[in-house]
Amino acid sequence: MEIKGIDISSYQGKPDWKKVKKAGIKYAILRIHERYGIDASFEYNYKECDKNGIPVGVYKYSYALNVAQAEDEADSVISVLNGRKLDFPVFYDLEWSEQRKLGNTAVEKIALAFLNKIQAEGHKVGIYCNVDWYQNVLTAALKKYDCWVARYPLNDNGGIQERLRPDFGIGWQYSSKGHVDGVNGNVDMNVFYKDYKKTEGDAGKVNLWDKAKKLLDDQVGYLEKRSNSNLDSKTANAGYGNYTKYSRDVNDMGLMGCQGQPWCATYQFWNCAKIFGKAKALEIMGNGFYNCNSVKAHSRSKGTWHSKPKVGALVIFRNGAHIGRVIRIENGRIYTNEGNTSSGGLNHVEANGGCVAEKSYTIGNNQIDGYVWINYGAETESGTEGEPWKATGTATSTVDNLFVRADPNGEVIGELMKGNRFEINGIKDGFWTQVNVVEIGVGWVWTAYVKKDGSQSSEPPKQEINNKQDKTQRLFVGKVTAGVLNVRTWAGTEHPQIKSYPTLNKGNLVDVMNFTQEAADGEQWYYIRIDGKYHGFVSAKYILKQ
């Protein structure tokens, strides 16, 4: 749940950034400006990070003693950047003892003058400081910004000292004496809990949705072919052989286009490649783009999987059986553009119908698994239900084995251990809190086991978890005795079925794990594992020990 990175300046000379990336460094925060001029290694570091695909942010150590000097520092940073965009924020480094003597109010005015000017140029902003400054100098207004906090011991050896981990901030500088292959000497080591992602909006706020919509509209009515003949014609040689121009073109890219096979996902990849280019299309849908479940898994790992629709998002149906793209949202319905479907039927998912068509479904249709959000640059002006993720802070899991679910009481998409950090956005639904977890994505966790960073205590648990149980331990193999047995997300019939394997049939064998729970009515429910990978709860009275 942490992203490993370094911050660096001319003190480290000119690192070998290829080796740095190979060493597992996921980002670099570069010193951009010294007291009176540009950092001597900044241009080299920026160019080499860009060349090697390492996301970059910058920091500016502040010597400002008044607002005017802070604005001058901002102008210096803006001048060096000269229109170049960053992945991570511009961090204002607040630690100079002469500034502290001015008092908290003066520091606030200085910092806001810098941050506001940088932000007006379209850059993300944040504050770097140590724990003492955060607790005793930063005002409430400054703590609202993303704070990257330093704390490491006197006997610093480059490793993480968990006892010193701050319970606030979006990043922790845990050492000044780290060693990374490719960097000469000591280097500052960091972990960030917030994954700043480069977006198309960073490149001049270009909106590609108009281009995408025209492309999608132009494909409507295309019929799949019975053979490799007439692939570019919309209607000629129509048949059900699953031959299309989309698979041919994707094959020509050197990728698997699955000619002669179901093509709904290949069609959506073809569109992404036409809109964004091949590399970005792979970033959106993953290398397994021809398989809808693979697209879903990739999206979750990238943090782009959502339960709410958005114009331009991919929509996945029926446990990964089919995929489309949202083109409009109106009056509680989504309107989609789909390949390998049929041309009619409201709310009817046709996963192998043979043409490109526009369809319509009610939002919340139980055949919809979820949505892969895509950034087309500037947001579309209308037709979006569900806002892009906006973090209001970070929080920590207070227990082991805390499920992250796609929806409140929904399918489990990940798991947290005690002490894991994640973003929160202040949104709750009953006993559930919405979170954004690195490598899992946006989901929901039980509020009782969430401690907001910076707070002194968490809410008391609303239901008992027996920590003596070990859900990874198999107790025995069980046999289903009911004709049809529902597999639910938690103990009790009031909870929904899991989406990945909603029912079992009589005679099915399952692993019964060491995590039996009691439902609200007092009945025992087994936590089971199906086919070695799917997990859920079933009523214990319908499972016979083998």
Contact status, residue 471 vs residue 527, Cβ threshold 8 Å = yes
SS (H, E, C) 52-104: CCCCEEEEEECCCCCHHHHHHHHHHHHHHHCCCCCCCCEEEECCCHHHHCCCH
**Range name among 113-117, 154-158, 194-198 with the lowest pLDDT average:** 194-198
Q: Do 55 and 69 lie in a common domain?
A: yes
Question: Is 386 a domain residue?
Answer: no
Which class for 308: exposed (0-12), middle (13-18), buried (19 or more C-beta within 10 A)?
Answer: middle
pLDDT digits (tens, 9 = 90+) for 495-504: 778 777 889 9
Question: Is 170 a domain residue?
Answer: yes
Q: Do 9 and 87 lie in a common domain?
A: yes
Q: Do 54 and 166 lie in a common domain?
A: yes
Query: Which positions ≥6 away from 327 have C-beta within 8 Å?
Result: 213, 216, 311, 312, 335, 336, 337, 358
Q: How far apart are CA 38 and CA 231, in angstroms?
A: 57
Average pLDDT, rounded, for the chain: 86
Q: Do 176 and 289 lie in a common domain?
A: no
Q: Do 397 and 419 lie in a common domain?
A: yes
The Cα angle at residue 109 between residues 108 and 113, in degrees rounded to 5:
115
- Model confidence at 422: pLDDT above 70: yes
Question: Is 448 a domain residue?
Answer: yes
Q: Do 245 and 221 lie in a common domain?
A: yes
The single-letter DSSP state of residue 497 is B
484 lies in which domain range? 470-545
The band of 1, judged by pLDDT with boundaries at 50, 70 and 90, is low
CA atoms within 13 A on the CB side of 433: 27
Question: Is 93 a domain residue?
Answer: yes
Q: Do 50 and 144 lie in a common domain?
A: yes
CATH of the domain at 407: 2.30.30.40
Domain count, the chain: 4
Query: What per-residue confidence (pLDDT) applies to 544?
Result: 93
Q: Do 37 and 173 lie in a common domain?
A: yes
Q: How far apart are CA 1 and CA 437, in angstroms?
A: 6
- Model confidence at 458: pLDDT above 60: no
Question: Is 346 a domain residue?
Answer: yes
Angle, helices 292-302 vs 264-276, to 10°: value is 50
Give the pLDDT mean for 305-324. 91
Question: Is 181 a domain residue?
Answer: yes
Q: Do 70 and 191 lie in a common domain?
A: yes
- Model confidence at 533: pLDDT above 60: yes
Which class for 484: exposed (0-12), middle (13-18), buried (19 or more C-beta within 10 A)?
Answer: exposed
The band of 357, judged by pLDDT with boundaries at 50, 70 and 90, is very high
Q: Answer with the one of 168, 198, 228 that is the final residue of a domain.
A: 198
Q: Answer with the one of 342, 372, 402 that is the final residue of a domain.
A: 372
The Cα angle at residue 150 between residues 147 and 156, in degrees rounded to 5:
165
pLDDT digits (tens, 9 = 90+) for 120-147: 888 999 999 999 999 999 999 999 899 9
The rounded Cα 528 to chain-centroid distance in angstroms is 28
CATH of the domain at 85: 3.20.20.80
Contact status, residue 1 vs residue 422, Cβ threshold 8 Å = yes
pLDDT digits (tens, 9 = 90+) for 249-302: 999 888 887 899 999 999 999 999 998 888 889 999 998 898 999 999 888 877
Q: Do 170 and 64 lie in a common domain?
A: yes
Global confidence as pTM: 0.47
Task: Choose between 523 and 175: higher pLDDT.
Answer: 175
Q: Do 19 and 158 lie in a common domain?
A: yes
Q: Do 240 and 283 lie in a common domain?
A: yes
pLDDT digits (tens, 9 = 90+) for 87-116: 999 999 999 999 999 999 999 999 999 999
pLDDT digits (tens, 9 = 90+) for 460-480: 333 333 445 677 788 889 999
Question: Is 388 a domain residue?
Answer: no
Q: Answer with the one of 145, 175, 198 that is the final residue of a domain.
A: 198
Question: Is 420 a domain residue?
Answer: yes
